[in-house]
Amino acid sequence: MQHNSKSRVLYFASALLICIGCSGIATLAALAARVESPGKAGNVSKAEEDITLIVGGHFTPDALGPDVYDAVVARAKGHADAYLDVFESMYLGPKFDAELQSRLYLPSFLQLVYTSSPDRTRQAASRLLKQYDAILVVYDNASDKQALFKLLPDETVRLLQRLDIRRKELQELLSSPK
């Protein structure tokens, strides 16, 4: 086994242990999407790895251990602008995936780096909010949400509800004082 393959296996094994729970499958899918093919040099960047960990759920000192948690927080806050660049490349614009993002906790990352880079964080939150608003336009215009939900498959209803929760978190972040 080559070093890159071994690193990839260890990375996924540790991610699997962290991701057990309701958001685990979505987090693993996000991790898998970020790993470059074996023919390319390199692997997932540390920033991508940290961001995926933060937004995947279970990002707590209890789940990760205080040392790992504190190290990830320090890297994200210490390099907030660089992490925001990576976050935007992972989740905004053409890489927007409503299904995946409904299962991730993207506002958690933005809340974490907000104090280190409030203007950039607000810009990213605003862009993400616009994407959520575009997906939720039918949901927003339905006068009877329960009637709408009866017409949709259960998973679609849950997707809309999760995105609405994330949208409210972004709106709260954007209404925070600088």
Report the pLDDT value the prediction gives residue 44, as an integer from 0 to 100: 62
Specify the number of domains making up the chain: 1
Instruction: Evaluate whether residue 11 is within a structural domain.
Output: no
* Of 11-15, 79-83, 112-116, the least confident: 11-15
* pLDDT tens-place string over residues 140-177: 999 999 999 999 999 999 999 999 999 999 999 999 88
Tell me the CA distances in angstroms from 33 to 44, 46, 74, one per residue in order.
10, 15, 25
Place of tokens 């925070």: 176
Question: Is the Cβ–Cβ distance between 104 and 26 less than 8 Å?
Answer: yes
Give the pTM. 0.73
The whole-number average pLDDT for the span 57-61 is 93
Instruction: Evaluate whether residue 13 is within a structural domain.
Output: no
As a whole number, the mean pLDDT across the chain is 81
Please report which helix (H) or strand (E) contains residue 70, including its range: helix 66-78
The whole-number average pLDDT for the span 37-63 is 78
Instruction: Evaluate whether residue 50 is within a structural domain.
Output: yes
Confidence band of 94 (pLDDT split at 50, 70, 90): confident
Confidence band of 37 (pLDDT split at 50, 70, 90): very low
Q: Is the per-residue pLDDT at 65 higher than 50?
A: yes
Torsion of CA 22, 26, 30, 33, to 10 degrees: 140
Helix axes 66-78, 46-55, angle to 10 degrees: 120
Helix axes 106-113, 80-91, angle to 10 degrees: 160
Phi-psi region of 42 (alpha: psi -120 to 50; beta: other; left: phi over 0): left
Instruction: Evaluate whether residue 131 is within a structural domain.
Output: yes
Compute the distance between CA of residue 82 and CA of residue 7 in angstroms, rounded to an integer: 23
Determine the structural domain holding residue 69 and report its residue range: 45-174
